[in-house]
Amino acid sequence: MSTKSRRFLSFVPRLVGRVWNDITPSLQDYLERLRDAVTNGIPGGVTDTTPSQIAPDNTADLGTENAGWSPGDHTHDVAVDAPVALGAALAEGTANSLSRSDHVHPRAIEALENGAGGGIRRRLNFIDTASIVWTLTEDIGGDEIEVEADAADTWREVVAFPLITPPNAEDDEFRDGSINADFDQMDGSGTGATTWIEDGDIIGVAIPAGDAGGELHGQLKDIAGIGVGDYVEVAVRIGGNAGGDITAGLCFNDNDHVWGSSGVQAVGLFGWNRTANSMDFWLGEWNGLATIPGSISTAGATVVQTPWIYLRLVYEAANSFRLDWSVDGVNWVNSIPATAITLTPTGAGMVCGSPGNANPGGILASWEYFRVVT
């Protein structure tokens, strides 16, 4: 390290061995420089070069001693830049710039498929399909997003079903995992009782094989105070072996929960026409029914599964009922106009059956909700 000060005045003039007249000019010059240094501060010699920039790749350097000095209030600029996105591995980087202490990195997620890289992006988008329904739950305490895939039950709810406010006490959203005790299970005289299960926000039934034409199965409940203009509404879905007749829907009934001459049911159904590959609707009194005219073809044996269909059975007037349907539960279309059925309803429920041909089995029906508007 140099022992010289930034306030040096040049060398002290030599006095020894010199006559006075010879040394007085040099001594006077030195004394004047000393006076200027004391009176006016640091003598000249400041550099007019801008201080160098501070950057990560700069190395320590003493500098050039005679290049001049810098004032005490000089400043160095610092090279800064925005941080880059998160990467897949640690890296020192090569940029010749620094980041501030309050810098922010955008979130980045590496998506892998069976351990192989699928790309790095800031967001993942889980898309429901006909066979997989995703459920994403934010766990704030665990600092994670929990992802659940339901690939086994394609009958679960995959759309937002409209809510009726205020709800009726007789409504059922099928969310508690058990069938309400107010419902009575009713089966026709064919192969025996069906099995109804409530699970995953739906209630469903498998129609047994060998059901004869005219069989009807249902869950019925008594409902007090049904009047003209009131209606029941469901979201229903059907599927299975198209070799059988597939129908499902809803009904008004009297207080005799019996299929046959002692009970009366105003039944609204939708079915799958296997010949036209389309939906058909039917409204009528079930007892004695052997077939639904124009509703379902007997041809074909492929597997079908319908989307959710909304049905609304309206008590239009005394002994008169109307069937409406919708694809979204908001915009309704009249499918069957007012139809005469001698019935004063005291209850309602969900029904399915196999009119016409015997059912080969494997037929499924599910309801997402059951609502009563009185």
Look at residue 284 and tell me whether its pLDDT is greater than 80. yes
Residue 27 lies in a domain: yes
Cross-strand bridge partners of residue 369:
235
Going by pLDDT thresholds of 50, 70 and 90, the confidence category of residue 357 is: low
Residue 241 lies in a domain: yes
| pLDDT of the residue at 287 | 66
Residue 64 lies in a domain: no
CATH of the domain at 221: 2.60.120
Residue 69 lies in a domain: no
Domain that holds residue 24: 11-44
% of the chain exceeding 70 in pLDDT: 67
| pLDDT of the residue at 333 | 93
Least Cα distance to 271 among 336, 212, 368 occurs for 336
Residue 236 lies in a domain: yes
Distance CA 281, CA 326 (A): 12
The more confidently predicted of residues 102 and 356 is: 102
| pLDDT of the residue at 18 | 77
Rounded to two decimals, the pTM is 0.55
Summarize pLDDT for 206-239 with one digit per residue, the tens. 776 666 656 778 888 898 889 999 999 999 988 7
Summarize pLDDT for 290-309 with one digit per residue, the tens. 555 444 444 444 556 778 89
Summarize pLDDT for 71-91 with one digit per residue, the tens. 778 888 887 888 877 766 777
% of the chain exceeding 90 in pLDDT: 12
Domain count, the chain: 2
Mean pLDDT of 17-41: 75
| pLDDT of the residue at 227 | 93
Summarize pLDDT for 224-280 with one digit per residue, the tens. 889 999 999 999 988 765 555 667 899 998 876 666 556 678 888 887 666 666 778
